[in-house]
């Protein structure tokens, strides 16, 4: 009869099981975040060229570039955390989505201010300035819509990772063995077997008097 060996599990490598991760959800939202980030950077460059006519708090605060980079990183981490949900990837995605939500909120406020500052027609404007003003407001409206979408995605993703990290270890923890030692070939030590009933000899002399 083979003996029972010892099994030793290593350090924690993967934090969340597949059941806790919605398939494809973070990938889709991450892709939208990356696209929104590139849109912010691209349209931010266009708005920078219009600042001689179009007053933009959004551009002055460097939000299109800082926010755009933040959105791209958040999207990449969200996709990576879905493919390989390690503890580091999950916490990184959660942190970056919180930062992205802050930049998105600042962007929403900046766009509202920009539309209020440049929404009034000025009699000193010529036809060229008027077209620049319309173009700037059009870009601001488009970016405002995508910034609101980015804010909702960032908040939803950060909230999802926050809820995932609060699950019990039995439901959300997967332990991957780093070193496993199993020794099943070592037999158990020979243990003397108790005598059978047929081997027990009854001696009347041994009875107590």
pLDDT tens readout for residues 153-191: 999 988 888 877 775 344 444 434 444 444 445 455 555
Report the alpha-carbon distance of residue 195 to residue 190 in Å, rounded.
15
Instruction: Record the pTM.
Output: 0.65
Looking at residue 52, what is its pLDDT? 84
Q: What is the pLDDT of residue 61?
A: 85
- Which is higher by pLDDT, 196 or 2? 196
Q: What percentage of the chain reaches a pLDDT higher than 90?
A: 28
Mean pLDDT, to the nearest integer, of 95-111? 93
Mean of pLDDT values over 39-65: 88
Mean pLDDT of 47-60: 86
């Amino acid at each position: 009869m083979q003996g029972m060996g010892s099994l030793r599990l290593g350090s924690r490598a993967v934090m969340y099981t597949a059941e806790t991760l919605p398939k494809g959800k973070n990938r889709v939202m991450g892709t939208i975040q990356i696209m929104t980030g590139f849109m912010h950077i691209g349209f931010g460059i266009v708005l920078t060229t219009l600042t001689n006519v179009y007053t933009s708090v959004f551009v002055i605060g460097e939000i299109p570039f800082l926010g755009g980079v933040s959105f791209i990183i958040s999207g990449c981490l969200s996709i990576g955390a879905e493919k390989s949900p390690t503890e580091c990837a999950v916490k990184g995605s959660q942190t970056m989505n919180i930062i992205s939500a802050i930049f998105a909120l600042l962007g929403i406020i900046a766009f509202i201010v920009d539309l209020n500052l440049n929404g009034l027609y000025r009699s000193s404007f010529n036809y060229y300035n008027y077209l620049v003003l319309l173009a700037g407001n059009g870009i601001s409206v488009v970016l405002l819509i995508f910034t609101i979408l980015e804010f909702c995605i960032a908040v939803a993703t950060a909230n999802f990772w926050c809820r995932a990290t609060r699950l019990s270890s039995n439901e959300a923890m997967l332990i991957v063995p780093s070193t496993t030692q199993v020794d099943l070939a070592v037999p158990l030590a020979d243990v003397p077997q108790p005598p059978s009933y047929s081997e027990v000899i009854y001696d009347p002399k041994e009875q107590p008097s």
